[in-house]
Amino acid sequence: MNFISLTPNEAKKLGKVAVLMGGTSAERAISILSGTGVLAALKSQGVDAHAFDPAERPMDDLRREGFARCFIALHGRHGEDGSIQGALELMGIPYTGPGVMASAIAMNKIMTKRVWRAEVLSTPRSRVLGPDEQVEKYIGKVPDELGLPLIVKPPHEGSSVGVTKVRSWSQMQEAVALAAGYDVDVLCEEFIDGDEVTVALVGEGMDIMALPVVRIVAPEGKYDLQNKYFTDVVKYHCPSGLPENEEKDVQRLAVAAYRALGCRGWSRADLIIRRADRKAFLIEMNTSPGMTSHSLVPIAARAVGLSYEALCGHLIATAALDPVGKGGKPAKNEQPGA
């Protein structure tokens, strides 16, 4: 695919742009970091861009103040889950990233795994603990089913919020309680020992491009919130250092996962390549990836010669609304119920 390069004239044609950042999720601080970077990148290219925090202003201000399109730099709930996308659809304001349905499904890791399994795409085995099952009787059975260690997480959070790597039965109750503090359901997932990798995806339909794989090396495998955003101890390898055929297999799996969820615009797939047999497993799809100084999509973009500023310019230039059909309207000579 060809990336759009913004000229001053094209930047002007975009009209007034809102960079949505902040919001009300547990990832608010990260969103502000992402949004601040995106805002500066767009302004540097002559885009009439402005910060907009939905936690502090009513969404209808976007319409009242004449915003023509939005760059969604929100992360987590009420920003990445289809709710903001739905509001923008109703107002007719194009936005970056996937539409309402894809955003809603991808934000729910339980539903995401169901879609991927239906498409026969590899993802770790898992067990969901509903509100009535978050008691010792059911919690104690999970390690027997999935083995140890295992991962316990809230299905609607990102940036490793509320995630625990459980190494013993004695840790299960506390891990479930932590995840349940963020979500109604708790997702328990088989732990895959191997290389953590991520694939940025851009475009839609048959015109989807998988950027180079980024391999993540964290100290003692601890790729948590603190190490992701607030330290420099994590190493990001791009080129990944993987064998060429392995990198291509990972990219193909990521593209299939992106298509299965109905994504468009851009997203980032996180995967783990099992050490024992080099099989790749899908972990999650991020439909509004981070754009901080530590973020992974800009690293992958640089590997193909695309600067942070150029990436932001391309994404806002390709902002869109969900495609619509005839809206169920009867044909000219057709009567409802005929």
Summarised one tens digit per residue, pLDDT across range 160-203 is: 789 999 999 999 999 999 999 999 999 999 999 999 999 999 99
pLDDT of residue 160: 77
What CATH fold (topology level) applies to the domain 115-119+192-317? D-amino Acid Aminotransferase; Chain A, domain 1 (3.30.470)
pLDDT of residue 331: 45
The CATH number corresponding to 8-96 among 2.60.120.200, 3.40.50.12500, 3.20.20.100, 3.40.50.20 equals 3.40.50.20
The one-letter amino acid code at 272 reads: I
Let me know if 258 is a catalytic residue.
Answer: no
pLDDT tier for residue 335 given thresholds of 50, 70 and 90 = very low
Residues 6+ apart with CB under 8 A from 50: 16, 17, 18, 19, 39, 67
Catalytic site residue from 284, 295, 308, 309: 284
Q: What percent of the chain has pLDDT over 70?
A: 91
Let me know if 108 is a catalytic residue.
Answer: no
Q: Are strands 150-153 and 186-190 parallel, antiparallel or unpaired?
A: antiparallel
Let me know if 309 is a catalytic residue.
Answer: no
**Domain ranges in the chain with CATH number 3.40.50.20:** 8-96
Q: Is-contact 283 250, C-beta < 8 A?
A: no
Let me know if 278 is a catalytic residue.
Answer: no
DSSP H helices in the chain: 8-13, 28-43, 61-64, 83-91, 100-107, 109-118, 136-139, 142-146, 169-180, 225-229, 244-261, 296-303, 308-317
Q: Are strands 235-237 and 266-274 parallel, antiparallel or unpaired?
A: unpaired
Q: Is the pTM of this model over 0.85?
A: yes
Q: Is the pLDDT of residue 39 over 80?
A: yes
H or E segment to which residue 289 belongs: none
Let me know if 31 is a catalytic residue.
Answer: no
Residues 6+ apart with CB under 8 A from 86: 100
Distance of CA 79 to the CA centre of its chain: 11
pLDDT of residue 214: 98
Assigned token pair, 71: 């760059």
The span from the CA of 251 to the CA of 211, in Å, is 8
Let me know if 270 is a catalytic residue.
Answer: yes
pLDDT tier for residue 86 given thresholds of 50, 70 and 90 = very high
Q: Is the pLDDT of residue 81 over 70?
A: yes
Least confident of 16-25, 86-95, 154-163, 304-313: 154-163
pLDDT of residue 185: 97
Let me know if 268 is a catalytic residue.
Answer: yes
The span from the CA of 336 to the CA of 338, in Å, is 6
Instruction: Give exposure, 62-83, as e/b (b: 16+ Cβ within 10 Å).
Output: beeeebebbbbbbbbbbbbbbb
Q: Is the pLDDT of residue 89 over 80?
A: yes
Separation in Å, CA 262 to CA 203, 285, 312? 11, 11, 22
For 90-146, the pLDDT digits (tens) are 999 999 999 999 999 999 999 999 999 999 999 999 999 999 999 999 999 999 999
To which residue do tokens 């969604």 refer?
72
2 vs 252 pLDDT, higher one: 252
Catalytic site residue from 103, 108, 126, 159: 159
> Averaged over 222-244, what is the pLDDT?
75
Catalytic site residue from 23, 290, 295, 313: 290
- Structurally, what CATH architecture does the domain formed by 125-190 represent? 2-Layer Sandwich (3.30)
pLDDT of residue 1: 78
pLDDT of residue 161: 82
Distance of CA 327 to the CA centre of its chain: 29
| SS3 label, residue 290 | coil
The span from the CA of 209 to the CA of 201, in Å, is 6
Let me know if 136 is a catalytic residue.
Answer: no
Q: Is-contact 103 80, C-beta < 8 A?
A: yes
Catalytic site residue from 23, 27, 76, 204: 27
Q: Is-contact 75 31, C-beta < 8 A?
A: yes
**Domain ranges in the chain with CATH number 3.30.1490.20:** 125-190
**Domain ranges in the chain with CATH number 3.30.470.20:** 115-119+192-317
The span from the CA of 170 to the CA of 247, in Å, is 38
- What's phi and psi for 200, nearest 5 deg? -85, 140
For 273-296, the pLDDT digits (tens) are 999 999 999 999 999 999 987 899
